Chain A
Amino acid sequence: DQQVKQNSPSLSVQEGRISILNCDYTNSMFDYFLWYKKYPAEGPTFLISISSIKDKNEDGRFTVFLNKSAKHLSLHIVPSQPGDSAVYFCAASDDSGAGSYQLTFGKGTKLSVIP
């Protein structure tokens, strides 16, 4: 049961270029989408989120795009920096009624930014 899918396990990008990480979902009840970044031996770190009522959210070098009709979102990082090298997780949540908004994660995409 893969409600959140990240089909690219890895991505390599040159420093200064754009990184585009993709995510697809199947559950139309998801209301919120988040991107987390994870370094080895650390917990996931929040990057950016978007509500289903929006189609774009920007924060500095990071922009998330949401296409609800295609059930697809993407994270753009521009310009990419070597410090961005990490595993990026797409996550989604919905209000199941209890207010806890637990996250459903994708498998992650390992981004390598080459100097």
Chain B
Amino acid sequence: EPEVTQTPSHQVTQMGQEVILRCVPISNHLYFYWYRQILGQKVEFLVSFYNNEISEKSEIFDDQFSVERPDGSNFTLKIRSTKLEDSAMYFCASTSGTSGGLNTQYFGPGTRLTVL
């Protein structure tokens, strides 16, 4: 069964450093998402991406964040200058987008980002 993959599974970085989190969505999917879950809190939407551009973003997704689909398979989330409060589990998700809101979003296993 196709699945969303994410690398690395755990990333440790120093405050102020740049990190890139990588995702490979399911191959025929058209919409891609990043969510995050700070420990003990709810899963929060960060950004959605369709047709090579951002379609929606939340207030969390400020200028420190960017997304890119550099080739036909990878979808990346970059944090330019990490802060302590960026420590969280980051989930990538994708969906085919053919059935509107009932399209299942398939989630990857997540990348745990720890900012020291």
Contacts and interface: CB of A to CB of B under 8 A. Distances in A.
Interface of A: 31-32, 34, 36, 41-46, 49, 51, 89, 91, 93-96, 98-108
A93 to B, nearest CB: 5
A77 B110 CA distance: 26
Contact of B43 (A96, A100, A105): A105
Interface string B38-68: 0001111100101000011010000000000
Contacts of A98: 48, 50, 55-56
Given A36-B107, A49-B102, 19 more contacts: A32-B100, A41-B109, A42-B109, A43-B6, A46-B105, A51-B101, A51-B102, A94-B101, A95-B100, A96-B56, A98-B55, A98-B56, A99-B31, A99-B100, A100-B48, A100-B56, A101-B100, A103-B45, A103-B105
